[in-house]
Structure 1
């Protein structure tokens, strides 16, 4: 007589929810945390109700960001009750615990081991998992076709308005072979666009004296130009070069050597440079380089080398001591620079920032008036630059494909050109796309129309 076979019931894995706030660097931290938890046997929950514990990865750069983080913590506690806080605001554990004493744990920025241990304590993992729980390349919080590639932590600058070094520390660069290996795995897993991020991409490798490592049988330095050249050699499964987009690039002299790589097609012709202001007196108060005239000359040379280069930046208005003359200087500088994409921020005092002690606080109504003026100026520049693209054929990457129209069956899609980074820049809205089109596809489109921020076109 055969013995009865008893089926082993695998217990349900604990589930973790995640709220990720702030910049793409925080998003990468969230992906790393979730990847480790997934490998430990945890499942991911898409909502509060289904989670055994909720992680809130906070941003603490501005007071408004801190307020948003506190609101997110409060919502998670109200909806779930079991909350662990991490990220930039984790360094202010006393503030968080004073407002929310019921949080289970508070850890700081990129403290991966500590936050994972906190999850283990709050909801222990199931031992001896029976299946491989982590996909190749780790877990992602972005669509499959684009990925953020973080190359370093921290920053060596001491800008008077910024507290990032006190939160994340000085520059710590990753090994170049580790960066390239991760990029290679991401592309092999389906990434069509790599977004290189850090606090200061231009400074990559300074802390290690640009230490070389063996990669593919040759030495490669930990340097922005060497890294960019190697990333330009990657190929997708279809044999195409992925887009490689550089963010947070300070205009050091060696940036001039990166632009020719864009002209050669090894890099996406796009530079994200945080200029912050143009008036020399304001830049000095910010403790940033005040060589705005030289920068204008360099921008002209970059465009001579690579006419399609798109330059995006952000600016602070209403910084302490900013006069009307300083602000007008910035507007005139923008007329000269003709930047493709611009974001602006009203100055906010941040606890711990040196700028808080500067004289000449700008009244809130003046900040608002200047903010409206700079946005009007940059919108006009953007509209003119986009209008000049009407009639051109441009490569785009597809982000989303719509459903067929009920009347005529036509399908629309949302895409981006090489001048558009995801989430922060414009879109290319397409009509009459093919039924087989999917996110991540790269196609050529004819631009038919434009407005202040977006383009409209049709596949060629």
Structure 2
């Protein structure tokens, strides 16, 4: 008698790095013949990949564990919140297993105990690029784990450990497989992408007959050979990042930098243990724009950090007004369990934190609108993400990462499909999005 195939439910929370962890676990599950279920009731066991970076993420993770326990009862917990196993067990004593991030073997062992795998796995069930939680046309490519920084507001190094880089050939083989599977955009991620290879002392490995050092710039050059969009996230502003910008100007990788600056006031940067200096950063931004005028720069900032004065905040606003960044995310500081910043004096009241965030985002909204208006009339290539009822096409430009940036909207034309590159003319804009008209469809040299 044939045994029923075991089924696993999966809840993935958190950042793109955690999403990649989920994809790796799902790929192993499919390799062993497990079914992946979309419902609690049809699952033999449920995996919850948690986030523990900020308090709201912790609550979301705990809520997800609670829901899985209530609806199914057999739950394996993994991810960043898993490093706080005692707290989770205290609240949910009947969870089957709790592990930290990247502990794939322990997750698989717990699943095996709860729902044994079929005796004859079918590896043909695995797509060429592995199991992905993103749409088919883009994928996150994780090049390292962990972080060597000691930022006072962050607990990621304690959760994910120090920097551990992948060999360049391993990264490039995975990237090649993703492209062969139909991926049109690679989003390169890690906790500190520009530190890639430091722990390996930039040791070279051989790929396609070429020695490729484990270093961001040569890796970017090799990824640029694949003929797809390559986008870099979480770029700490080390000096060698300047060498990445000419590759953007040459069209090898997208002219897009995601640089989390966090603040501009020297006193606050020092309290955060962020070495970046606002004046130096402004000089480098000018130089980047001289080399690659179309470069889009995204950053994130924290307001209301302990000790932040009105003067510090005004310094941040002045920096933003001068830098005219394309995309900005802003977070009110909130204490994170285990973060060194919790012990700093000068707590900023909640109402002031909220007011500062509103002022910053109002300023940035005006800047973003001006930056987008400057692109009206330009001819650009966009990547199609969605087609709504054969009526509206939702796409992204080089300046737009999935989920966090803006979109490009245009009328549908026959022949346009999700995952296509389409040449367009920008016709209108608002605070965050663009409107465009298709000019040339992929594989069609006609214009109109």
The TM-score with structure 2 as length reference comes to 0.97
Tell me which of 410, 416, 423 is aligned to 2:403: 423
1:277 Cα deviation after fit: 0.3
Q: CA deviation at 1:102?
A: 1.7
Q: What SS is found at the alignment partner of 1:132?
A: helix
Within the candidate set 347, 355, 373, 2:341 is matched to 355
1:450 equivalent to 2:429? Answer yes
Instruction: Confirm whether residue 284 of structure 1 aligns to residue 270 of structure 2.
Output: yes
**Aligned residue for 2:4?**
12
Asked whether 1:344 is paired with 2:330, we answer yes
- Matched position secondary structure for 1:51: coil
CA distance in structure 2 between the partners assigned to 1:290 and 1:455 by the alignment: 32
Which residues in structure 2 correspond to 1:204-353 (within 5 Å)? Answer: 204-234=196-226, 241-353=227-339
- Aligned with 2:389: secondary structure? coil
- Tell me the distance in 1 between the aligned counterparts of 2:102 and 2:122: 29
Shift in Å, 1:50: 1.6
Distance in 2 separating the partners of 1:458 and 1:218? 42
Say if 1:351 and 1:130 are closer, same or farther in 2 by CA, change over 3 A: closer
Larger CA Rg, structure 1 vs 2: 1
Write out aligned runs for 1:14-413 (5 A): 14-129=6-121, 132-234=124-226, 241-404=227-390, 411-413=391-393
Cα distance in 2 between the residues matched to 1:130 and 1:315: 47
CA distance in 2, matches of 1:397, 1:59: 29
RMSD of the TM alignment (CA)? 1.0
Supply the distance in 1 between the matched residues of 2:383 and 2:173 (Cα, whole angstroms).
24
Shift of 1:289: 1.0
SS where residue 380 of structure 2 aligns? Answer: strand
2:48 aligns to what SS in structure 1?
A: strand
Instruction: Say which SS state the counterpart of residue 84 (structure 2) adopts.
Output: helix
Cα offset for 1:131? 6.2
1:445 is paired with a residue of what secondary structure? strand
Cα distance between partner residues in 2 of 1:132 and 1:121: 24
- Give me the whole-angstrom Cα distance separating, in 2, the residues matched to 1:123 and 1:298: 54
Q: Matched residue of 1:48: which SS?
A: coil
How far is 1:66 from its partner?
0.5
Note the C-alpha offset of 1:163.
0.6
Question: Using the alignment, how far apart are the partners of 1:245 and 1:129 within structure 2?
Answer: 35
Deviation at 1:116, TM superposition (A): 0.8
Q: Is the 8 A contact 2:141 2:175 kept in 1?
A: yes
> Which residues of structure 1 form unaligned runs of 5+?
1-8, 235-240, 405-410
Q: Which residue of 1 aligns with 2:414?
A: 435
Question: Where has structure 1 moved over 3 Å in runs of 4 or more?
Answer: none
Query: Shift of the alpha carbon at 1:130?
Result: 5.3
Matches of 1:138 and 1:425 in 2, distance apart? Answer: 26
- The offset of 1:132, in angstroms, is 2.4
Aligned counterparts of 1:310 and 1:48: Cα–Cα separation in 2: 42
Q: 1:456 to 1:61 in 2, by over 3 A?
A: same
Q: CA offsets, 1:290-336, max 9 Å, x none?
A: 41101111111111111110000100000000000000000000011
Provide, for residues 97-134 of structure 1, a one-character-per-residue CA deviation record: whole Å limited to 9, x for no partner.
11111211111111011001111111111112356221
Deviations 1:159-196 (A, max 9, x none): 01111111111000001100011001100110000000
TM-score, length of structure 1 as denominator length: 0.94
Cα separation, 2, equivalents of 1:309 and 1:101: 50
